[in-house]
Amino acid sequence: MTVRSLPSDPSLDHLRHQAKDLLREHSARVPATAQRLREFHPRFSRIADADIFDAHLSLSDAQLTIAREHGFPSWTRLKRHIEQPTLSGRLQLPHHERIEDTAFRQAVDLLDAGDVSSLRVHLKSHPKLVGQHMVFEGGNYFRNPTLLEFVAENPVRHGVLPANIVQVAQVILDAGADYSARNETLMLVATGRVPRECGVQLSLIDLLCDSGADPNTAVHAAVRHSEFDALAALLRRGARVDLPVAAALGRIDDFNKLLPTASSADRHLALAMASQLGRLEIVRKLLDMGDDPNRYNPVGGGSHSTPLHLAVLEGHEELVRLLVERGARLDSKDLLWQGTPADWAGHEGRTEIEAYLRTKEMERQTS
């Protein structure tokens, strides 16, 4: 789920206008609006565009969607953030500096310092702390972390981890971190730049899996972030090779075996991952099977964009041409920056791809 960042001085009136605009776009059956509602309004999750447009949408529905688009669970919480700002709501600060609970903040400081012995004593003195959740609003993820999730340094807070972070994590696990926290931490580690750069990503993956974390919970995220060493470790620890993973890795034999019984959701994610990673043969096969190149990608697969956006972003020119030949729309705009695939090509310096797409835009306009 990719949220829109609030400006430094957000206006509640402006956000109210956004909600009213969303109502008008829903009435006009704008395809991007269906994707926004599907991703950010719980009532519309996994519902087809036509059913979303046929459903009644109230102003409170639109306001909830706007709030969740900006990383807040409700309009009330968004309104409170603007009208009554707190330390935890200072979104420009790194997460550890937004912690208001003194005992929890001390635990994070000990974690960051790699002070294993003091952390162990601190957790014994505060036995409930290991299961406590912090509330961070206004971001894409890391919204309700426990202490264990801080070992991943994802989101980046310092840009480095203590050399003994595996031992630090073991202390927190020994103190009773629950299994949902272990799974969430596994995903953060598997997608984290800092654990990889510090050379501890694979050791942390092994530790978390040894402690009961399910490798399947992190495998798609690892693919999406192109963390292939982490992906290999997760597969070694028993993660399944499902259709999206086979598509991402270009494992044609596995893909062909899984395709006949794959769900629509798996095919949708497989198309996004194959487009991102340039798996031309797999994308062609999915299109031959009737998958739509104009659907926005699913949650967890670059959902603010289309397969063509992803292929452009990564510079897969032959795949870009295939998608265009198969009817991919050139005027589809991503939901964050309102850019077309050609705009993305220009932004990324993909001059040949941009020229091709601009030419195709003119051809379609004149045909």
Domain 244-366: which CATH number of 3.30.160.150, 2.60.40.650, 1.25.40.20, 1.10.10.10: 1.25.40.20
Q: Kindly write down the DSSP assignment for every residue of 277-307, as one continuous string.
A: HT-HHHHHHHHHTT--TTSPPPTTS-TTS-H
Work out the pLDDT band at 86, boundaries 50, 70, 90.
Answer: confident
Decide if 95-232 and 244-366 have a common fold. yes
Q: Where are the domains of the chain?
A: 12-85, 95-232, 244-366
More confident call, 336 vs 112: 112
pLDDT for 1 beyond 70: no
Query: Tell me, what DSSP letter sits at residue 158?
Result: S
Candidate from 7-11, 40-44, 318-322 with smallest mean pLDDT: 7-11
Work out the pLDDT band at 338, boundaries 50, 70, 90.
Answer: very high
**Cis peptide bond N-terminal to 127, omega within 30:** no
- What pLDDT, in 10s, does the model give residues 339-355? 999 999 999 999 999 99
Work out the pLDDT band at 310, boundaries 50, 70, 90.
Answer: very high
Q: For residue 302, is it left (φ>0), alpha (ψ between -120 and 50) or beta?
A: left
Q: What percent of the chain has pLDDT over 70?
A: 100
- The SS3 assignment for 173 reads helix
65/60 Cα distance (integer angstroms): 9
- What pLDDT, in 10s, does the model give residues 158-213? 999 999 999 999 999 999 999 999 999 999 999 999 999 999 999 999 999 999 99
In CATH, what number does 95-232 get? Answer: 1.25.40.20
CA 234 vs CA 189, 210, 215, 243: distances in Å: 11, 12, 5, 16
The pTM score is 0.89
- What pLDDT, in 10s, does the model give residues 198-249? 999 999 999 999 999 999 999 999 999 999 999 999 999 999 999 999 999 9
Candidate from 5-9, 74-78, 95-99, 128-132 with smallest mean pLDDT: 5-9
**Per-residue pLDDT averaged across 127-144, rounded?**
92
CA 332 vs CA 31, 95, 264, 293, 312: distances in Å: 9, 35, 22, 11, 13
Sequence-ordered list of residues with C-beta below 8 angstroms from that of 301, at least 6 positions apart, any chain: 220, 224, 244, 268, 269, 272, 273, 276
More confident call, 88 vs 127: 127
Structure tokens at 160: 């480095």
